[in-house]
Amino acid sequence: MDALENGAVDGSDGATSWLYALFAANLYRFRPEIDARDYPQIYQRLISSKYRAADDQMATVLPVQEDVLAELQTYVRQIKDAPGIVATFHTGSYRLLSRVMYTQGLNVAVLMSREILAEQGEYLFAQHQQMNDVGRLQLIDADAGNSLLKILAAIRDGYHIVVYMDGNHGAGTAKDGSDMEEVPFFQSDLRVRKGLAVLSYKRQIPIYPILSGLNEADEICYQGYPAILPTSGEFLEDYSARVFRGLYTHLQEVIRHQVAMWEGWLYVHTMPVDQSKRRTQTYWPCRVGTRYYVMISPQYTCQEIGKWSFWCLYKWKRFTGQLKN
């Protein structure tokens, strides 16, 4: 499946690409109430949003309205003297958050996967070095075996740790699943790594939720939420559940009516799920170059088919969608 996902896709019809099939299967798993006829339009907006986030990151002047930026800067300054974990998601212009933080004088360490670190690390450091009177920047490999130790060292040195909670990366997993937390998400469940909640609990490290979004005018906005800390006498299991249920509730609030704003629809299939909660089987035709497949949702399996079968299935899905009118 990974080989197919990374393969060359005929860009002339996004609604039959392999990535689109994954997106459709993911969206159907969590949001079955959304009409499948709207999927192509949602997918196109999602890809546009993904490129917009990358463009915003490279902008010389922050593409954020002054009042929105001022509100975010006020939140950032309030947490400046209490280093902690800044929990965010891949929504809106999420890439600007760490930049706003270090321009306000905070020392920032961004936790990211090894793949993204190799892809973006050099540019992020170059961009940071071009700025004057800013806090320090550090990038931490989430897939390294010593990532938790590096997080602790960074917090000790006065850094805030920016974590993309939906990245769900980490070095190894426990075979018994004891390092995972099950979280309700729309009409299904996710299993997420709970290492950061454990770290917060044992070291009394505050968690600061900040999410990026878009308002009705399609302008960038940010929402900062109250800090999360364990209460007196609270058990670790209760705290971990409270942390992740709260964070993913915030994510649902942000993307409930702006579905295309979350990049996670492209990769949420890589996160573990309770297999007993599979939905009714649905088929999505897709092609990779000159090869044709059918994605079987929600098992995320695929089978290669002939070109004629592919086009019959594709036209049938369009026809049945039109019948619903």
Q: What is the pLDDT of residue 19?
A: 86
pLDDT tens track for 80-129: 999 999 999 999 999 999 999 999 999 999 999 999 999 999 999 999 99
pLDDT tens track for 6-23: 433 344 455 567 788 889
Q: Does pLDDT of 138 surpass 80?
A: yes
DSSP-derived 3-state class of residue 23: helix
Q: What is the pLDDT of residue 323?
A: 53
Closest listed residue to residue 5, CA positions, set 284, 115, 16, 17: 17
Q: pLDDT confidence of 308, banded at 50, 70, 90?
A: confident
Mean pLDDT of 169-193: 77
Task: Give, as one character, the DSSP assignment of residue 300.
Answer: T
Q: What is the pLDDT of residue 11?
A: 41
Q: pLDDT confidence of 258, banded at 50, 70, 90?
A: very high
Please give the Cα distance from 25 to 278 (Å, whole number). Answer: 11
Describe the crossing of helices 236-255 and 195-203 by its angle, rounded to 10 degrees.
Answer: 130
Please give the Cα distance from 148 to 146 (Å, whole number). Answer: 6
Average model confidence (pLDDT) across the chain:
86
Mean pLDDT of 226-255: 96
Phi and psi (nearest 5°) for 273? -145, 155
Residue with tokens 């793949």: 115
Which residues in the chain belong to E strands, given as ranges?
Answer: 85-88, 107-112, 137-141, 159-164, 180-185, 188-193, 207-214, 220-224, 282-288, 291-297, 301-305
DSSP-derived 3-state class of residue 297: strand
Q: What is the pLDDT of residue 90?
A: 96
Please give the Cα distance from 1 to 7 (Å, whole number). Answer: 10
Tokens of 22: 């994954």
Q: What is the pLDDT of residue 253?
A: 96
The distance of Cα 318 from the centroid of its chain, to the nearest Å, equals: 30
DSSP-derived 3-state class of residue 73: helix
